[in-house]
Amino acid sequence: MQSQARREHLWLQAIWWLGVLGFLLAGLWLNRGTLVFALDDPYIHLAMVEGMLQGHYGVNPGEVCSASSSILWPILLMPFEALGLGPQGALLWNTLCGALSAALILEVLQQALPMGKYGRIRVLLGLLVLLACNAWGLAFLGMEHSLQLTLSLAIVLGLLRLGAGRPVGWWIYLASLIAPWVRYESLALASAFWLCLAWQGRWVRALGLGLGSGLVLLAYGFFLHRLGLSWIPDSARAKLEAWGVDNTPWQSIRVHWAVAWKLERGRVLMGLVVFLVILACKSGWWQPVGRAAVCLALAGLLHLSFGSYGWYNRYESAMVGGLCLGILGLGLPRVATARRPRVGIAGLALGLLLVARPYAQGQAQIALACNNIYEQQYQIHRLLLNHWRRPAAVNDLGWTSYRNDQFVLDLAGLASPEVRAMSRHSQDGAWIAVLTRQRGIELAAIYETWYPQRPAEWVQVASLSLSRRRVTPASDRVSFFATSPAAVPAVRAALQAFEPTLPKPLRLTWEDN
């Protein structure tokens, strides 16, 4: 039996690493050997890490901010960034976390289906769960989501062990403790695990884990408060403002449920919660197995009430993958003892395939998404670093600020609470003019659609468009503006020097002025 288990693990690990290698090579080929992630956001984390290594919490020197929504992730990147290997370190962490996720998935499947048979079925189901978790997509985002997924699957394994009356393991307790430090949203699954512990009479352990995790979140909030920032990170606060910062808690929950109902991913999550409720009822919600199903369903309800979706399938992936794994862990033992077990297994596999479909489509575009960031944000980074060498205004903070010693005015507000406050209370482009004049900024690289109300004195000089289909950037075209007529010659000269260095077939589109 042990040799069979090892073979299954080797098969699933081989599938994982071959997928990683394939996506990596495809991205490097499209990006001419440059490692670039599928979003610009990971470079915000790396820019924060640069500041932390210099004893400063922020992106721009002298301006504090909390542009990273993770407490733990920047700390994990610090040793790599100190060696000049920040992106490589992020990719290494993510691929290792993906391998651990694959191992956790197969561990659950091997406990749920009797050994001696179903070997290929377990590997196939493991592959489907990896797709439903968006595991390869998360790895090439370069952020903390792969680690969040691994910790979430470990927590689900802990819930299943509680339901089966098996020892949980110290490392699962540790996973529930630190998961909220990786992403605040992980409080949903961690709280479900602590609730299940308390429900089984382990009140002291549940309370200790909850207090230990919460005290670190509180201490981090106090640290931000002492810096003059909000108690929650600016990146997380920006999402709350998008949902309506003035809403009452009940109004916010109603908005979240309305949005979830409109989105395919939200409806999938609702379906998973309903399935778990059915499992709880059939197993007896007062029984250990039923309690595990109830707690998993409550975690899903928390995400439906407070969570987000999308942005290259990263916000809900850990919850969707965790609930899918929980359903398999709870449902497969019942199916295996049924009259026609393979029919039931096929039904669960079909359900997994339907859940995984949109995530599989997204993962098929990983290399193209990485190329989008290479052709847009990375090229703007090169412009600012090699040809402009002065302060600039942007709406994508990551690559433009990473490894760039010049001041970068983030018009989206992640690098500056002042910017976000001014933009929220202004109906025209006057606030942009004020900030660019204060900072002596003469070049702005922005999406025109994001800022239809621009300062009247701005002059558009050129624009840069993607050469391939857009996947992850908010727009396929970034426009370069001189912030005054007097700045046009300097901006044009920098862009003219920059254009010959663009990788083919990229070229600037010039404006007549």
For 68-110, the three-class secondary structure string (H helix, E strand, C coil) is: CCCCCHHHHHHHHHHCCCHHHHHHHHHHHHHHHHHHHHHHHHH
Task: Give the integer Cα–Cα distance in Å for 40 and 399.
Answer: 6
Give domain status of residue 187, yes or no.
Answer: yes
pLDDT tens per residue across span 51-67: 999 998 989 888 888 88
Give domain status of residue 57, yes or no.
Answer: no
Q: Does 185 lie in the same domain as 77?
A: yes
Q: Does 317 lie in the same domain as 227?
A: yes
Torsion-angle region of 309 (φ positive above 0: left; ψ -120 to 50: alpha; else: beta)? beta
Residue 30 has pLDDT above 90, yes or no: yes
pLDDT the model gives residue 427? 64
Structure tokens at 413: 């507000």
Q: Does 332 lie in the same domain as 219?
A: yes
Tokens 């978790």 locate to: 133
Residue 415 has pLDDT above 80, yes or no: no
Give domain status of residue 480, yes or no.
Answer: yes
Number of domains, the chain = 2
Q: Given the DSSP bridges, would you call strands 392-394 and 408-410 parallel, antiparallel or unpaired? A: parallel
Report phi then psi at 477, rounded to 5: -140, 130
Mean pLDDT, to the nearest integer, of 385-406? 94
Q: Which of 364, 393, 424 is the last residue of a domain?
A: 364
Per the document, the length of the chain is: 513
- Give the predicted TM-score (pTM) of the model: 0.94
Q: Which of 312, 344, 364 is the last residue of a domain?
A: 364
Q: Which domain holds residue 328?
A: 2-36+69-364
Confidence of residue 246 (pLDDT cuts 50, 70, 90): low
* Higher local confidence (pLDDT), 285 or 481: 481
Given a contact cutoff of 8 angstroms between Cβ atoms, the answer to whether 393 and 444 are in contact is: yes
Amino acid at 330: L
Q: Does 155 lie in the same domain as 226?
A: yes
Structure tokens at 463: 């624009």
Q: Does 349 lie in the same domain as 440?
A: no
pLDDT tens per residue across span 304-358: 998 888 778 899 999 999 999 999 999 998 887 878 888 889 999 999 999 999 8
Across all residues in the chain, what is the average pLDDT? Answer: 91
Q: Does 341 lie in the same domain as 377?
A: no
Q: Which of 364, 386, 415 is the last residue of a domain?
A: 364
Q: Does 229 lie in the same domain as 141?
A: yes
Give domain status of residue 55, yes or no.
Answer: no
Residue 7 has pLDDT above 70, yes or no: yes
Task: Give the integer Cα–Cα distance in Å for 101 and 227.
Answer: 36
Q: Does 292 lie in the same domain as 395?
A: no
Task: Give strand ranges (E) for 195-247.
Answer: none
Q: Does 247 lie in the same domain as 267?
A: yes
Q: Does 117 lie in the same domain as 264?
A: yes
Give domain status of residue 51, yes or no.
Answer: no
Give percent of the chain with pLDDT exceeding 90. 71
Q: Does 155 lie in the same domain as 218?
A: yes
Give domain status of residue 379, yes or no.
Answer: yes
Q: Does 155 lie in the same domain as 287?
A: yes
pLDDT tens per residue across span 100-134: 999 999 999 999 888 777 878 999 999 999 999 99
